[in-house]
Structure 1
Amino acid sequence: MITRDIEAFLAFARELAPDFGPPTACAAFLVAPDGFRLAEQSAQDNIYMADAGAFDAQRASMQHRDLQRAISTALPTICFAGDPATPDAVFPNNVFGTAAGRYIVGRMRHQVRQREAARDDIRGFFGGVLDYAEIDLSTQPHPCELTGALVIDRARGLGFCGLSERCDEEGARLMHEAFGLRATLLFDLAPGEYHTNVVLAVLAGRAAVVCPRGFADPVVPAAIAGLYAPHAVTCSEAEHAAFVGNCIALSHETVWMSADAGEALSPLHCRRLADAGFRVETVALDAIEAAGGSLRCCIGEIY
């Protein structure tokens, strides 16, 4: 099922058992922020990006190493070298995604990011080292920026796909098929929002973090929160702005977000995550957040 019909989606989703696959990844991959700077093309439709003067390449590199070191305590984490020709490559989950036995290459909207999809080393790792089958969406015309645009409940095989200039309906359909999902809900993001994973996270299939202002129709975030109630966090404006919605569960017990997001997270919402069985872990990423993404954007998941 792939639909905009919220009631039909909810009726189907509520009947699903959490038996689609592992709820969290078995490993992670990163791409180093080598040549970290403002990507002017990406800035055209990413309101979270700072001005060029706010980019600190040395600090970003140090924080990225801290990120790898930290999340390696939760799961095996490898890091590929960056490339000064691809300043956005620090957010690899938009370009490369995985499902059982296969890897997917996304179609990026901007040319500066399309270069990332051609990396032989990352393709070689998935295809040659892991022996995953390839599904290459990068050469077709419809933008589909993988787990930036598509938030996945891996336990139930559910997708939540926000449409914007970074993903159209056909791109959503292609991703739905590539990840082999049971059902995907389509909805429009609010004007100015570029990726779903900035305004929505599904945590190990049993909790959700929702930023209502990021959705064009307020009915959608309310419905998603209702699906995961009582373990749903509905973010305030301040939490949204601090990237609380850009968090990720890397194990059954841990939710990871940036230090600024953790600082903005209200005590009530921290308790709500604790009630769902999660401990909040944070890493300072303010330098990387200048590029318009946060912790979840940095992490490519290996299933």
Structure 2
Amino acid sequence: MQQITNTILMVRPVNFRMNEETAINNYFQENISKENKAINALAQEEFDAFVKKLQDVGVKVIVVSDSLENDTPDSIFPNNWVSFHENGNVGVYPMFAENRRLERREDVLETLEAEGFLINNIIDYTSAEDEGVFLEGTGSIVLDRANGKAYCALSARADEELFIEFCEDFEYSPIIFTAYQTIENQRKPIYHTNVMMCLAETFAVICLSCIDDKKERKAVVKSLKENKKEIIDITEAQVEQFAGNMLQVKGANNKRYLVMSAAAHKALTVSQTKTIEKHCTILSSSLSTIETCGGGSARCMMAEVFLPKVN
């Protein structure tokens, strides 16, 4: 199994703003004192510049535009509702916020099929929403595809039983823990695993101090070391700058890039940057409006496409 891909699906926003329904447990979101129309225009500018940077280095980006039919302020983060796998399977996931459920669109899958990708099987977990149970795609789950492992920090958006069911269906070994951040002197679960952890081919960027339970922390470190991943440990302050929300991709001539926001890049220390650059090139883009209002960053915006091509 490949760990990284050169093909990314991204959704261009039409109605981006701070989503009041997700702000309940996404402590990264903040209000900006601008009109929604202005916020959306800024988000579109950031989105377009980001897409161009990816395309300029040879990453294949399939851009789908959001539609004005539904009120979907977070549609820019498609990796939460869908995941694409090498065997042609597609996972469709139950979402915590009701207005995020409207992001799931069949025509997105049809777009990929029109691009020549093969979808064999759709594994749909969305009925779990009726039970108030959620698992938000590769936001909740960080996959080590090459080694058949799935990492999940439990939260209101990542249910343990459903995660285990996902692992059985997609044949991954589960690694379960809880990751916290300090909010007004209280330890609260981080809403998505991919905010504090990124898995690349030969290294992992992770905030180990977010994992309060020593046994859980040890188990995560042991698992990463078993697979010979160099561990780049980041701080909670760096997590707040989205330095955990990164994705490794392939560009032209199979060149490797670690994609992140400008804020994440700036938050890295010289030594962390050097360690990453031993493995691959850093590619960063300014996403400040998207990060501030959306509470998500570069990783959240990219749904990796691993589907096989039709012969």
Short-chain TM bin: 0.7 to 0.9
The 8 Å contact of residues 72 and 103 in structure 2, kept in 1 or not, is answered as yes
Taking only the aligned residue pairs, the percentage that are identical comes to 27
Alpha-carbon contact 1:231-1:273 (below 8 Å) kept: no
Residue 256 of structure 1 is matched in structure 2 by 259
- Residue 170 (str. 1) matches residue 161 (str. 2): yes
Count residues with an aligned counterpart.
279
Can you list the C-alpha shifts for 1:3-50, whole angstroms capped at 9, x where unaligned? xxxxxxxxxxxxxxxxxx012024100011210111111011100001
State how far apart, in whole Å, the 2-side matches of 1:158 and 1:70 are: 30
d(CA) in 2 for partners of 1:213 and 1:293? 20
Mapped contact 2:204–2:229 kept (Cα < 8 A): no
* Matching of residue 214 in structure 1 with residue 216 in structure 2: no
1:125 matched to 2:135? The reply is: no
Corresponding residue of 1:187: 177
Aligned to 2:28: 48
Q: Larger deviation: 83-92 or 35-44?
A: 83-92
Paired with 2:218 and 2:206, the residues of 1 have a C-alpha distance of: 8
* Counterpart selection for 1:298 from 293, 297, 301: 301
Unaligned runs of 5+ in 1: 1-20
State the match for 2:93 in structure 1: 106
Residue identity opposite 1:200 in structure 2: M
Residue 65 and residue 165 in structure 1: after superposition, are their counterparts in 2 closer, same or farther (change >3 A)? same
Task: Measure the CA separation in 2 of the matches of 1:167 and 1:211.
Answer: 18
Deviations 1:230-289 (A, max 9, x none): 7211102332111110011002621111011101110111111123x2111111111110
Pairs within 5 Å for 1:32-181: 32-53=12-33, 56-72=39-55, 73-84=57-68, 85-100=71-86, 101-117=88-104, 119-126=105-112, 130-132=117-119, 133-141=121-129, 142-181=133-172
SS at match of 1:38: coil
Q: Residue 160 of structure 1: SS of its match in structure 2?
A: strand
In the alignment, residue 237 of structure 1 is paired with which amino acid? E
Query: AA paired with 1:103?
Result: V
Alpha-carbon distance in 2 for matches of 1:33, 1:216:
36
Change (3 A) 1:120 1:230: closer
CA distance in 1, matches of 2:262, 2:273: 14
Contact (CA 8 Å) 1:244, 1:257: kept in 2 or not? yes
Q: Which deviates further from its counterpart, 129-138 or 257-266?
A: 129-138
- TM-score by length of structure 2 reads 0.84
Q: For 2:98 and 2:209, how far apart are their aligned partners in 1?
A: 29
Alignment of 1:20-31 (within 5 A): 21-31=1-11
Question: Is 1:33–1:60's contact at 8 Å kept on the other side of the alignment?
Answer: yes
Give runs of ≥4 in structure 1 deviating > 6 Å.
Answer: none
- In structure 2, the CA distance between the partners of 1:220 and 1:105, relative to structure 1 (3 Å rule), is same
Partner of 1:13: none
What amino acid does structure 1 have at the position aligned with 2:65? A
**Alpha-carbon distance between aligned partners in 1 of 2:113 and 2:124, rounded to the nearest angstrom:** 12
Give the TM-score, by structure 1 length: 0.86
Separation of aligned partners in 1, 2:159 and 2:58 = 34
- 1:57 deviates by 1.6
Number of the residue aligned with 1:238? 237
Q: Pick from 277, 281, 286 the counterpart of residue 283 of structure 2.
A: 281
